[in-house]
Amino acid sequence: MKRIQFYPSEELDAKLSAEASELGISVSSLVSYKLNQVYFNNGKADALIPSFPSAYGKVRGEVNEYVKKYLEDKGDISKEFILNEMSKTFSNIDMTSTVIGISKPATLRARMGLTFNQQVIKKEIDNVIRALTETGELKFKYKSALYRIVHTVDEIEDGR
């Protein structure tokens, strides 16, 4: 994926920021989604390919429900999870896409994982932190970020 800079007016920036914030995604992801709609779908979302905002909103909702149920059931806070285990929607998104018989990595799932991880690091997702080793290194499972569900702010600060 190529990185492109653009300079929106203050009014456009405010609208994009507000919509992205409401959806819980980055402005960059929102702009990318909207440009894909215009150039590849004639302004309409393709029913076969889930849009980033709607799919990510569903993933966030599933994670919130998973965390809520886990805390209600007084789950073991030392248990670690990958996003795949917390969200059925995320686990069902294909890792590759095939166009004209050529398979290549699909970006939707990767963008969702990255966005989720960034929100966890910024503490924008309640009761979820990145799992750390005893030496403070980030933990992974199957090359996926590991997360922990925490009950208290103290656990969030400790991180282990």
Which has the higher per-residue pLDDT, 38 or 142? 142
Query: 48, 65, 59: which is closest to 24 by C-alpha?
Result: 59
Tell me the pLDDT tens digit for each residue of 106-143: 678 888 899 999 999 999 998 999 999 999 999 999 88
β-bridge pairing 147-149 and 80-81: antiparallel
Tell me the pLDDT tens digit for each residue of 46-93: 443 457 787 888 999 999 999 988 888 876 666 789 999 999 989 888
Contacts of 111 (CB under 8 A, 6+ apart): 29, 52
pTM over 0.85: no
